Amino acid sequence: RPLVNRSPMTLFMATLGLSYIIEGAAQLIWGTQVHGLDLGIDDTPFEVGGILISSFDLLAAAIAAAMVAGLSAFFYWT
């Protein structure tokens, strides 16, 4: 238990170090090459007020908002 009752800055630095170690290990195992992933969702952008919005980004934002609302309700009523 070397990190029990340590300062928040020490815990923060340990967390950063651990994340770098995990990221480096993942790069050693799977490599650094980026691969695309076909999700089967049509990603055609549409224009709203002169701004192009990706339908995939809109779907991801809606799912994230629903998950936040669900978690908020769960923690509020339990």
Q: Per residue in 4-30, pLDDT tens? A: 899 999 999 999 999 999 999 999 999
The predicted structure's pLDDT at residue 24: 97
The residue segments making up the domain with residue 7 are: 1-35
29 and 54 share one domain: no
The predicted structure's pLDDT at residue 68: 98
Structural domains in the chain (count) = 2
Is the distance from CB of 3 to CB of 14 less than 8 angstroms? yes
Instruction: Give mean pLDDT, residues 22-43.
Output: 89
Strand partners, 45: 54
Task: Look at the block and give the residue holding tokens 């994230």.
Answer: 64
The string of pLDDT tens digits covering residues 44-74 is 898 989 999 988 888 899 999 999 999 999 9
- Residue 19 identity: S
- Residue 13 identity: M
Instruction: Give mean pLDDT, residues 35-51.
Output: 85
45 and 78 share one domain: yes
